Amino acid sequence: MKLAISTLVRVVVLVCAVLAIVPAVEAADRDKLLSEPGVYGTFATFSLDADWGKQDQVVRIAQLTVLKGVVEQHREKIAIDLYLLRGLSDHGDLMFRIHASELRDTQTFLVDLQHSLFGNHLKTSALMHGLTKKANYVPAFPDQLKADLKTPSEPGPKPYAIVVPIRKNAEWWGLDQDKRAAMMQEHTEATMPYLKTVKRKLYHSSGLDDLDFITYFETSKLEDFHSLVLALEKVKEFQYTRRFGHPTLLGTVQSLDEIIEILAQ
Amino acid sequence: MKLAISTLVRVVVLVCAVLAIVPAVEAADRDKLLSEPGVYGTFATFSLDADWGKQDQVVRIAQLTVLKGVVEQHREKIAIDLYLLRGLSDHGDLMFRIHASELRDTQTFLVDLQHSLFGNHLKTSALMHGLTKKANYVPAFPDQLKADLKTPSEPGPKPYAIVVPIRKNAEWWGLDQDKRAAMMQEHTEATMPYLKTVKRKLYHSSGLDDLDFITYFETSKLEDFHSLVLALEKVKEFQYTRRFGHPTLLGTVQSLDEIIEILAQ
Amino acid sequence: MKLAISTLVRVVVLVCAVLAIVPAVEAADRDKLLSEPGVYGTFATFSLDADWGKQDQVVRIAQLTVLKGVVEQHREKIAIDLYLLRGLSDHGDLMFRIHASELRDTQTFLVDLQHSLFGNHLKTSALMHGLTKKANYVPAFPDQLKADLKTPSEPGPKPYAIVVPIRKNAEWWGLDQDKRAAMMQEHTEATMPYLKTVKRKLYHSSGLDDLDFITYFETSKLEDFHSLVLALEKVKEFQYTRRFGHPTLLGTVQSLDEIIEILAQ
Amino acid sequence: MKLAISTLVRVVVLVCAVLAIVPAVEAADRDKLLSEPGVYGTFATFSLDADWGKQDQVVRIAQLTVLKGVVEQHREKIAIDLYLLRGLSDHGDLMFRIHASELRDTQTFLVDLQHSLFGNHLKTSALMHGLTKKANYVPAFPDQLKADLKTPSEPGPKPYAIVVPIRKNAEWWGLDQDKRAAMMQEHTEATMPYLKTVKRKLYHSSGLDDLDFITYFETSKLEDFHSLVLALEKVKEFQYTRRFGHPTLLGTVQSLDEIIEILAQ
Amino acid sequence: MKLAISTLVRVVVLVCAVLAIVPAVEAADRDKLLSEPGVYGTFATFSLDADWGKQDQVVRIAQLTVLKGVVEQHREKIAIDLYLLRGLSDHGDLMFRIHASELRDTQTFLVDLQHSLFGNHLKTSALMHGLTKKANYVPAFPDQLKADLKTPSEPGPKPYAIVVPIRKNAEWWGLDQDKRAAMMQEHTEATMPYLKTVKRKLYHSSGLDDLDFITYFETSKLEDFHSLVLALEKVKEFQYTRRFGHPTLLGTVQSLDEIIEILAQ
């Protein structure tokens, strides 16, 4: 199980080679994709097949070089984030979060990925799509709440990421906008104590998938995230939720190079 | 991952060969099949097996030639459309939409496809059937609505296709025709803002499958499709829907030659 | 994909050999098994494994000879019908409908089938059992309805077969016999327009499987079958149905020799 | 498919060898385990893998010798019954019913079985546990009913066995004991006509599995068992049943030697 | 099936070698992790793949040495308990219960485990996470009940472990704290007769998984555990439980060395 020192050195050298081999390409305007409305967010989770781990390390590293190449190449057009689910979620090993102006660009990336040597070892476990939109209910919130919502989250790394797909029931959509707005205000107030430690992002999915929303969270304090969810279960709006999770995807935020190092070992 | 130039040339040559090898056959009266009532529509989705991508490219191209042959041959009798689901849907890699006057002809095509060298790599993930029928509720709609419904959709390519199977609950079918008609009018009015950018087609499935309807959409503006679904979730008729999606199939419209090029790489 | 003429000839010769090799055995009293009460009906659906299609044709034909032998041998005791589901249903490739006086005889046949060389390529996808019984509610129907029910179905082949398993809810069984009889009369009246074009047969399953009924249909006009189901969804009795289909099995009626020809190609 | 005479002889000889090879060991007090309260009953169903049938007959017979050895050895401590599900149930091929004073002994048997050469071909499809207890509601029944319950079942073989897992809903458990007792009396009265032809045994599962009860039946008259279930669906207590079956396991009672003979062919 | 004496000796020698090969490392503060609030508990269940049992014993023992190494190494930081599910649960063969201050440490362990030679044979069947917290409702309980809750469980081994995941419905979370506290008092009182023979531990899961709670039990008297669950099904709070089990995981507590011995045979 423990690699001998010489092997470790060899791995480090090879991995460094991987990390260096692909020249940086001009990145998509990542900041814009991650902050503006009208952007499509895709959560693509994959399991590594049983053969992956049985391959020789050198072969695996060669395939990870391919992974690096595919990701870097597509980063010209789309924003790609990586997560390690293995060891924390039974719904997959790797997750890609992709932001793109057009889902066709996301499709091209994922097809290239799956058609690559590395992709031959991936089995799609789930694909979910959502759209970023301007906040729906916030404009009608009291000024104080609107101001509070702008509280920035604490600086520093937030190693854990959680994805919770949500589907509301038919009764929810049948309520008039005012009633929904009032309940969403109560919902929002319940989240205030966790604004600093739990970062959130919302995607609208109706029609793009069998969901209404994808909620995405990052935190360094999982206990706070747990308390946040508990608080949300207690507000009235929760009673109109037909599906919360199923799956809840829990993983750790990783750079492409970190993922390569983990899978190379 | 990147193919060397010489390889690329070779692929292009081979793919061109594929595209040329099968002489055009007299096509079924596609326009009639796609517009008239009394036609059976089948949505057949397939996953490529794990071996597909591990084969040598030349082998794959030979098998794609077979695919081209099978499709072209059956186009004499039935209308066949192709879609790439891979990268957008976790319910399959390829989708065929088949229109035929008799489901036996569709069965013969799909059996030929599955028994072909290419078909050996396909796993059926879902098969859904529906029947086109004259509009049920439209005759009783106000004249203005009837006129509006004739608005043609904007010209130009609509790269995205979405398939949403629907099952109504027992209460819906227990309502008398007038009540259902009134709700369908509200439903139809909600769809008017999207007539130009989202093309729709309806198939009736009761008895042919575990569904009541298959709804099929094409658009270049996924955001409009999302807004359309959101609007439909808010009308009263939605509360009588037992199943909406599950799966929702999202893919891109592709010609047979485009599919071959994508799978050849 | 297209077999060369010489290969085709060889196949025809081999298939003819298959069809001739097994001498006809004295058949079970098929008419009695298919018409009397107290007979057990089994619907056994199978998928062919991925290896089947990859075998050489001669090997496949040898295995199909075995299939023919097993079926013919057991036809001495039980009635066996075959259906091709492939291309029409995603729940299996082949379906056997077996009528027997004792389920043990059905078990012996299916075990022999699965233990044969051909059976090594079969994966059971579903097994459903039911019992034929004298009509429950008909005796209390008005005379005219009783007479109408005797309308024979139109002569001529009925190529399509559909199997719909049904489970009623607890409330249905809790109703007294009169109320159920009244609703079954309404149900029966709704089916009258389709008596000529849609043949039906009912099996009682409670306890033998996770069902209450298996309904079996044959038709040459699928559109009529669709209309029949639509009519049944609108009667009151449908609201007491917990499961209708899931799966709905749609296939084509085939003789043993036709199945062998299709699978030999 | 038909074994030549010489092969048949060889099989018979080998199977006889199997049947003789393992000397009888002192059996557990089977009668006590099968009749007393406080005994754990386990229903373990297995599917044979795709490789099983592809092995040479001699290899299979060697592995069946191992099966015989494992079962005979453990019969010193636990009572083991065998059933053939193949051909009657799509939830497995073999079922073991095991009675033990301690579930650890059952675990040791099943681990030994799975770690054996034969066990390498078994895939667990379901494991259910229950506990025998003194009758809960009977003491309060009228004397006549209590007396009737003692009617012995008809002598003679009962080839069919059916296992129906049951889960009651929360409302049932929330009722007071009197109300439940009254409904159980109605339930019991409905079963009286089938006491002679359908043998029953009850296991209590709450906490040991995702069930409340496992009901086990043996009969030679499946039609009577069907009528019994139909009668039980009509009593009030059935409306408090959340799960009835799912799966219903239908098979035939077989001795160890019969199972070996069937699998050897 | 029976190992010859000489083979047995060889196994014993090899297994002893395994047990000795990895020097004891300084253990994490296991007592603290197992008793304090704010600790993350993970239940990771795995199935052994079909190849595991087909390997030569020497190869298996080598891989088990790796298992021992990985577990011992990580025990510096986290508390790891092992359970044998095989033979008692159809949801997996092995279960690890891991207590850690940070889920990242659990992830690192499980990734190391899965990337090891032994891990190549493991398929994750379920991963569930929860957090230990101070008792929620106990502070408001009557003093007598609080005192009774401190009753220590009987000394001696408790070989059986049961894990029951729980999800409450939206109505439960919508109740005010007082109502929930009153019902939890009734719930707690129902458990009092089993305090001595059934050890319990509670984990809070909302947001970390598709659950609200993971309840963990150890006992030597499964009948008492069954009675405990039956008592809990009868209190009012149970009616607010949407999911109880599914899966219920039943296994036996084993030391690492015991697991190795069982899997080595």
What is residue E262's predicted lDDT score, i.e. its pLDDT? 97
Q: Where are the beta strands (DSSP E) in E141-245?
A: 160-168, 198-204, 213-219, 241-244
Average pLDDT of each block of 10 consecutive residues along chain A (265 residues)?
Answer: 50 58 65 96 97 95 97 96 98 98 98 97 97 93 94 93 98 96 97 96 98 98 98 97 97 98 95
Q: How far apart are CA E249 and CA E95, in angstroms?
A: 9
- The confidence band for B20, taking pLDDT boundaries of 50, 70 and 90, is low
Q: If we measure between CA atoms, which residue out of D129, D137, D140, D149 comes closest to residue D204? A: D129
Nearest to E105 by CA among A252, A55, B156, B21: A252
How far is residue A202's CA from residue B58's CA, in Å, rounded to a whole number?
A: 45
Instruction: State chain B's mean pLDDT as an integer.
Output: 92
Q: Give me the residues of C, 136-165, that contact B with CB < 8 A.
A: 159-160, 162, 164
CA D24 remoteness from chain centre: 23
Q: Taking 70 as the threshold, does the pLDDT of residue E1 lie above it?
A: no
In 3D space, the residue among B43, B47, B42, B45 whose CA is nearest the CA of residue B104 turns out to be: B42
Place of tokens 């009940």: E145
Task: Give the whole-angstrom CA distance, residue D37 versus residue D133.
Answer: 4
- pLDDT-derived band at B133, boundaries 50, 70, 90: very high
- Whether D3 shows a pLDDT value over 80: the answer reads no
Whether residue B148 has pLDDT greater than 80: yes
E239 vs D111: CB contact, 8 Å cut-off?
Answer: no
**Residues E114, A87: C-beta atoms closer than 8 Å:** yes
Q: How does C37-71 read in b/e, with b if 16+ C-beta sit within 10 Å?
A: eebbbbbbbbbbeeebbeeeeeebbebbbbbbbbb
In whole angstroms, give the CA distance from residue E252 to residue E89: 10
Active site residues of D: 200
Which pLDDT score, from 0 to 100, does residue A196 have?
96
Touch between chain A and chain D: 3 or more Cβ pairs under 8 Å: no
| Residues of chain E found within 8 Å of residue D204, distances taken between Cβ atoms | 226, 230
Residues on chain C touching D223 (C-beta within 8 angstroms): 38, 131
Chains in contact with chain B (at least 3 beta-carbon pairs closer than 8 A): A, C
Give the Cα separation of E17 and C36 in Å (integer): 70
Query: pLDDT tens digit string along B193-227?
Result: 999 999 999 999 999 999 999 999 999 999 999 99
Summarised one tens digit per residue, pLDDT across range B157-169 is 999 999 999 999 9
When mean pLDDT is compared across A152-156, C13-17, D214-218, E174-178, the lowest value belongs to C13-17
Amino acid B6: pLDDT: 56
More confident site: A183 or E23:
A183
pLDDT value, residue C2 = 43
Cβ of B230 and A206 within 8 Å? yes
Q: Which residue is it, tokens 């609509």?
A: B158
Closest-CA residue of chain A to B86: A111
Is some CB atom of chain D closer than 8 A to the CB atom of E4?
A: no
Can you tell me the mean pLDDT for D207-215?
98
- pLDDT of B30 > 70? The answer is yes
pLDDT value of residue A4: 47
* CA of D96 vs chain C CAs: smallest distance (Å): 18
Candidates E125, E163, E120; CA nearest to A90 is E125
The neighbours of chain E, by the rule of 3 or more Cβ pairs under 8 Å, are A, D
Low-confidence ranges of chain C (pLDDT < 50): 1-4
Residues of A designated as active site: 200
Chain D residues inside the 8 Å CB shell of E87:
106-111, 114, 127
Interface contact flag, E171 A239, Cβ < 8 Å:
yes
CB contact under 8 A, E222 and D131: yes
**Cβ-nearest to D173 among E222, E233, E252:** E233
Nearest to C230 among B38, B171, B206 (CB): B206
- Note whether A61 and A227 are within 8 A (CB): no
Nearest CA to D187 out of D172, D207, D197 is that of D172
Please give the pLDDT value at position D6.
Answer: 57
pLDDT one-digit tens code per residue, D142-185? 999 999 999 888 999 999 999 999 999 999 999 999 999 999 99
What average pLDDT does range D19-43 have in this prediction? 81
How much is the pLDDT for A28?
A: 75
- Neighbouring chains of C at 3+ CB pairs within 8 Å? B, D
Q: Is B86 in Cβ contact with A107 (below 8 Å)? A: yes
Residue A170, min C-alpha distance to chain B (Å): 5
- What is the SS3 assignment for A131? strand
| Average pLDDT for chain C | 92
